[in-house]
Every structure is written in structure tokens, then in C-alpha cells.
Amino acid sequence: MRHNANRPPQKDHGPAFKPQSDYSAAAHAIFGTRAELVRRLNHGEGEEGKGGSAGRCTMAELQMLLEDEIPAGKRALVESYQNLTRVADYCENNYVQAQDKRKALEETKAYTTQSLASVAYQINALANNVLQLLDIQASQLRRMESSINHISQTVDIHKEKVARREIGILTTNKNTSRTHKIIAPANMERPVRYIRKPVDYNVLDDVGHGVKVSRAS
């Protein structure tokens, strides 16, 4: 019995084998059209350029990443894994049963190329979302660190003030005696005139234990 290469038979191949329409739907769910795939890849490249603006993200964007985008990316990868398994089964059975092996091989190559592109896009999008999430959290940690440092400095200043106050309590006041200021006299005294007196050497004659000798006249 000869089989159609484009539509494998639905019997004698176990419960995992399904009609081609189901596998086409699975492939379309993974890949979409080529234009859609190119648009999504270009959109993913554009998202990489927005990494610098992650610090300006709001809490709403952080919540959206945690609750929507990252879980959606994980679900998309799980669905792609399941759909890729079905497409791989279809390609294997199609190649075994097809009369035109080259055509079946080319179809398998096309599915493989699109699979790699689609999964790479999904991983890239999920990685960008995770990196954006980490950037937002790092920015929040920096702001929190700045606030903690400000509080720490405020506490240190308060401790310094308290310590200075305690030191001030232990000190004693120094009593300073006030003296009258020097006031210049109203009437200036006239300086005494210097009078030169001759030196009298006889003043020292009676000093000491010497013997006074009188000169003969």
C-alpha cells in the first residue's frame, strides 16, 4: 500500500502520531508566519537598546515584569517544548513514510531553522526581561543603600552632639580675675635731667679687712 507523502496515515503508528493538520497547527503556534517572526526578532533587538533606561522604570513596570512578562515567557518556552516534540515526531514519521525523501528532508530543515529562530527569540526576550528586572532591583538597592547611609550619618551626628554635651557637663568654669586697665597719666612727668658725677675711689677704703696706710706728708 502506497502512502501520501504530504499526509501520513493515521493508523499503525502509535498514539503519538497525529494528522498533518495538527502538526501544522503546532508548527504555526511555534513559528507564526515569516513576517511575524522577523517583526518579533526586530522588536527583540529594539528591546536591547532600552537597557539603559531600566533605572527609570517604575514600580508598576517591576510588577508587570514579575507578574506578567516573565511568567508569560516561561510558559511560552514550555509550550514551545511541547509543540517542538510534536513537530519532531511528525518530521520523523514523514521522512520514514515519504516517497520523496529529499522533499521531506528539506521540510525538516525548514522546520529546524524556524524552530531555532523562534526558541532563540523567546530565550532572548525572557533574558531581556530578567536583565531589566535585575537592573530595576539593583537601582532600588542603590537608593535603599543611599537612604541607609543618610540615616547612619544622621545617627553619627546625633551621637557626636550627645558626646560633646556629656563632655561639657564634666568641665568646670574657669574663674578669671579682672585687673584694671593701665591708664596713662593726664599730666606727663618731666624727665629728670642727667647730671654726671665723678667717680670717688675713696668710698671703698673702709670695705674689707685691709689695713689703711696713711701716706707720709
User: Is 95 part of any domain?
Assistant: yes
Specify if 57 maps to a domain.
yes
CB of 62 closer than 8 Å to CB of 9: no
Identify whether 121 is part of a domain: yes
Closest CA to 32 of 106, 118, 110, 93: 118
CB 115 within 8 A of CB 109: no
Q: Say if 52 falls within a structural domain.
A: yes
Q: For residues 6 and 20, is the Cβ–Cβ distance under 8 A? A: yes
Span 117-137, average pLDDT:
86
124-131: average pLDDT: 87
Q: Between 2 and 56, whose confidence is greater?
A: 56
Look at residues 164, 145, 165, 141 and name the one whose alpha carbon lies nearest to residue 153: 145
Amino acid 158: pLDDT? 95
Residue 152 pLDDT level (bands cut at 50, 70, 90)? very high
Specify the pLDDT at position 82: 83
Lowest mean pLDDT among 14-28, 130-144, 200-214: 14-28
pLDDT for res 155: 95
pLDDT beyond 60 at 201: yes
Domain tally, the chain:
1
- Tell me whether residue 12 is in a domain: no
Q: Mean per-residue pLDDT for 157-163?
A: 94
Q: Is residue 58 part of a domain?
A: yes
Judged against a pLDDT cut of 70, whether residue 147 lies above it is answered with yes
pLDDT of residue 120: 86
Placement of cell 533606561 in the chain: 53
Structural domain includes residue 87: yes
Within-domain flag for 136:
yes
pLDDT surpasses 80 at 87: yes
Residues with Cβ within 8 Å of 10's Cβ and at least 6 positions away in sequence, in order, are 17, 18, 19
Expressed as residue numbers, the domain containing 55 is 20-141
